[in-house]
């Protein structure tokens, strides 16, 4: 019986040390946008909800799975392909839960919350020459809110690495 104990313990220890040497997967990040005016694009896996006045373009790489995007309030919908749809409206509400999506929001009164992993882009419409001084605020990973950028700004939706 003791002869079997040592090989049995080795079988348990070797895989545990192999898993310990691998880096931990990136944790989910958060994004919040309030009263946005401009363009927001997010390519992420997770949960994205919100509302706006304008246009939403949703690309679903796996359109026939059980995780379908939900959009309410569209006055016009255009299907570019089986994977891509464009929704227009003055009170669009959307919910994308549990899948991988690319979503592009263009318009104003953008309120959005996202939890997940991926990449994104923001471009606020604030411009003194056009008389638009306030283009909304955004927060990434629970940082304090700050104004949407006037130039294209890219970001990673993930928990920042310590240090």
Token pair for 97: 């839960």
**How many structural domains does the chain have?**
1
Query: Which residues form the domain of 115?
Result: 27-126
pTM: 0.78
Is there a domain that residue 121 lies in?
yes
Is there a domain that residue 40 lies in?
yes
Is there a domain that residue 111 lies in?
yes
5 Cβ contact partners less than 8 Å away, ≥ 6 residues apart: none
The string of pLDDT tens digits covering residues 64-79 is 888 889 999 999 988 9
Average pLDDT value for residue range 117-124: 94
Is there a domain that residue 153 lies in?
no
């Amino acid at each position: 019986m003791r002869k079997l104990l040592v090989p049995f313990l080795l079988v348990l220890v070797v895989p545990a040390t192999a898993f310990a040497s691998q880096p931990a997967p990136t944790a989910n990040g958060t994004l919040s946008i309030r009263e946005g005016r401009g363009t927001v694009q997010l390519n992420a896996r997770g949960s994205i909800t919100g509302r706006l006045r304008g246009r939403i373009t949703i690309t679903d790489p796996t359109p026939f799975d059980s995780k379908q995007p939900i959009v309410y309030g569209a006055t016009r919908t255009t299907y570019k392909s089986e994977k891509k749809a464009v929704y227009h409206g003055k009170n669009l509400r959307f919910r994308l839960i549990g899948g991988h999506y690319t979503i592009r929001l263009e318009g104003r009164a953008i309120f959005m919350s996202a939890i997940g992993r991926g990449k994104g882009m923001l471009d606020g419409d604030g411009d003194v020459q056009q008389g638009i001084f306030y283009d909304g605020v955004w927060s990434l990973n629970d940082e304090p809110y700050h104004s949407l950028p006037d130039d294209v700004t890219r970001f990673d939706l993930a928990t920042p690495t310590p240090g």
